[in-house]
Structure 1
Amino acid sequence: MESFDPEILEGLAKHEFLSQAWLEEFDNLTSRLGIEPISVSVPLRMNQLISGTPFGPEPITAHIDTTSGILEIGLGLVDEADLTITIDYETAKAMFVDMDPQRAVEAFLAGRVTVNGDITKLLGLAQVFATRDERVTAILRAITS
């Protein structure tokens, strides 16, 4: 891994997780900061229904698509999804931004997360996130309010 200068994170605007502004910032960061996009070896099309958001209509519909080999996140649902996850906003944020797997397990066991579809693909994606570049985690935290 290349050396990482945390000063590149200074001055980045913070946005609510999964807001349109956050998604735009996420999309632009890799090129603007000169880092590689998040590559994912698990091909997956996952829809998400996210409740309890601090903005917008309930629930937010979002998706993750890794079929290109790169992590793509967007609002709205994709056709022919491998799975659909229903999750609350704080748990989604803890899993994706804070990388808190314990919180995800607790939410799943408590029934606050439901999965319909191929759960093995979700487990594969979790492994990818668990080994992601620390620079990406630092950047996600820097842009998330």
Structure 2
Amino acid sequence: RMNQVITDVPFGEGTVNLFMDTSSGDVVMEAGALETPDLTMTTDWDTARKIFVEQDQAAGMQAFMAGKIKVQGDMMKMMAMQTSMPNDDIAKQIATEIKDITS
């Protein structure tokens, strides 16, 4: 259960709030925010695009090490979410949902 805050977006009010919930066993990603997330990840638009849309995991690690990704809450949940992300079909579904939410 993770909230994502994407800053510096090139449209709207400059910030997009999304959430990802895997507690049901399925990946649910929608616009908005969970009331009681396990963690909140904040990053800029360019970094989010590289990680989630382009599926560039190296960019994610570089951004985290450079301080472009801020995490509040249970860091272990984020790491578990990364390692438990299923096959490429789910990754493509997530990328498509993010494109739909942010376009």
Shorter-chain TM band: 0.7 to 0.9
RMSD: 2.4
Query: Kindly, what percent of the aligned residue pairs are identical?
Result: 35
Number of residue equivalences: 99
1:127 maps to a residue whose letter is: T
Displaced runs of 4+ in structure 1, greater than 6 A? none
The match for 1:115 among 57, 71, 84 is: 71
Q: Which sections of structure 1, spanning at least 5 residues, go unmatched? A: 1-44
> Whose radius of gyration is greater, 1 or 2?
1
Question: Any idea what the Cα deviations from partners look like across 1:30-70, whole Å, max 9, x if unmatched?
Answer: xxxxxxxxxxxxxxx11111012121112211111111111
TM-score (norm 1): 0.59
Aligned to 1:92, the other structure's residue is in SS state helix
Task: Name the amino acid aligned to 1:102.
Answer: A
- How far apart are 1:118 and its partner, in Å? 0.6
SS at match of 2:61: helix
Report the structure, 1 or 2, having the larger strand content.
2
Distance 1:106 1:139, change over 3 A: closer
Select which of 17, 23, 40 maps to 1:67.
Answer: 23
